[in-house]
Amino acid sequence: MNTPEKIGKYEVLGPLGTGGMGVVLKGWDPAIARGVAIKSINKTLHQKDDLDGLMNRFRQEAQAVGRLVHPSIVQIYDYLEDNHGAYIVMELVNGKTLAHHLAEGDRYDINEVGQIITQLLDGIGYAHAQGVVHRDIKPSNIMINNDGRIKINDFGIAHVESSTLTQVGDILGTPHYMSPEQFLGVNIDGLTDLFAIGVIAYELLTGKRPFTGNAATVMQQVMNVEPSKPSELNVQLSPMMDAVMHQALAKKKEDRYQNARAFSDAFREAIRASLHVEAPVGVPNSNTMMNFSRMLNADSSLTNPGTQDSSQYGNSPITLDSSIKKARLLIVDDDERILTALKSLFRQRYHVFTTTDGNKALEFLRKYQMHVIISDQRMPIMLGVDLLRQSREISPRSVRILLTGYSDLASIVGSINDGEVYRFINKPWDDIALQTLVAEGVTIALELADTTSNPIGLPDKMEAGVMVIDQDEEIYRVARELIGGKCPVIYAADSDTALELLTKHEIAVILADVESGHAKLTSLLKLLKQENPQILTIVVTKAADSELVIDLINQAQVFRILSKPLSVGLLKGQLHAALQRYLTYKQTPALTKMLRVDPPTITHGTVGARIMESLKTLRGKWFGAN
């Protein structure tokens, strides 16, 4: 089959390379004017028996990755098939594979390895949460974008929770990165991916693979031999890294890190420890706040000792006056020009701290409360998504704002799902709009600073329920099974029915397919958040329209965004989390201030006016006055 000029609606621009199953083409989507990569299989080149298995794996990849929306995973946009071939249309990554970089002799310092591995673990941890196991993690399946971001690729032998495509006894993978259970052909799970990432981490840190030789020799070593300690091969590494790698490469699954987050947290600490070892004698350990005249550029002189760091650098201690009511802003961006512009914009009204390093920002947050955190998304040291996710855990009362271009939909979705971002600001920003937004965030953060709330467990039965808005009832049936009688689950086929039911039932969570009754439904969700901010919304979408998603986040403050096809396990977890959050808001109503939206940003129109009229009758009916 010659290279076609078009595949479906996509224009073919030429070959990009050869993938694990066939040729990868560079394409163009004229509908939304973006480049794409098209992975293809030529059916005419394969015997029927081979083709059946190949096609099953190809479709498996499309189904597995089609549900994944994450900044560290190559996103799939479309799947096409005809008599000549099958095609997966995916995100075009402008960069090379990690294998390509290593083959060219590129080497990475300890900090860079930390960023590669933690991004990799973040992406694979997300995939595992969706029920997808990659099973062939290796450098050739890891893309490094030109801006330094990691993209996991080629889920061709991935396993999905509901799939029976591969059975016990199948041996799949690439020998140097395979786990003991893969060699044994026994049932494998996400711990296999973590083992492979451990192998890659070892290789990047030491310049050598932990297991070498032909396939038989590698298998024998993986099963029986402990590799050399990393610190023996790279003297800059801390002994802490030896312990982390030992656990990551443990022969028995139960001895390894049991999830990506645990591995990532331990790896970060070992990287930090190694960087401290790397520092010359006499330089203070950065665990004790790393001289902030270099680490964070403070625009304010905080000299009245309300809170004082015990460690001293030079002649001056770091001090923070807890009695000062002036709000504190932490701004993270890898572009010094951006930091200079934002400091100039806010220095008269707030204490402003800036840094180009996400890790240093997190260290700062562990010691000092920040009212508002503003982060860029695309940074080489740490992505904004990851920074805001971790900052939410460290400082949950801080208001988080993301600076971003709207083109990176995966980052947008990841930010709201993992970082619970308050608002998105597009670059270049409008100074007045940004000042207004930050002032609003500061007001909320100051009001919430002294608010306390204890985590609330879900009761066996609660009165407030879940409303599912979906034309074909499929999501409703799934949600009803997942809730299992814990609370009422109510079905509405359209916005009008939803409005009517809202006046009759206390609703804690709305689960809405935004492709059902698109315009009117999105208007309802925005206006509902304006009038009843305590109701949490989980949006289900194919996630193809970034402007719609941004609009819903900024104006409807959606709680989570789930992509189709839905992962049942993820949906259950998010429904339970939303119900728990509703009960927390009920216990501490002040927390709903984080969810308020600005009425002037919503265009009412005739439809909106009718919706508002109905919603006004709900104000305070179930939850109390807002």
Report the sign of the C-alpha dihedral through residues 250, 255, 259, 264, in that order: negative
136 is catalytic: yes
Q: 387, 362 in Cβ contact below 8 A?
A: yes
Distance of alpha carbon 572 from alpha carbon 482, whole angstroms: 6
Q: 351, 299 in Cβ contact below 8 A?
A: yes
Distance of alpha carbon 389 from alpha carbon 379, whole angstroms: 15
Closest alpha carbon to 179 in 190, 195, 168, 163: 195
Closest alpha carbon to 76 in 560, 564, 417: 564
Q: What angle do CA 171, 175, 181 make, to 5 degrees?
A: 50
Residue 353: count other Cβ atoms within 10 Å of its Cβ: 25
Closest alpha carbon to 434 in 396, 406, 403: 403
What is the C-alpha radius of gyration for the chain, rounded to an integer number of angstroms?
Answer: 26
φ and ψ at 23, to 5 degrees?
A: -85, 140
Distance of alpha carbon 166 from alpha carbon 417, whole angstroms: 31
Helix (H, G, I), strand (E, B) or coil at 212: coil
Q: Could you say which of 78, 122, 136, 408 is catalytic?
A: 136
Here the tokens at position 39 are: 């992975």
Give the pairing of strands 23-29 and 10-18: antiparallel
Here the tokens at position 112 are: 């860079």
Distance of alpha carbon 124 from alpha carbon 189, whole angstroms: 12
DSSP 207: S
Q: What are the catalytic residues?
A: 136
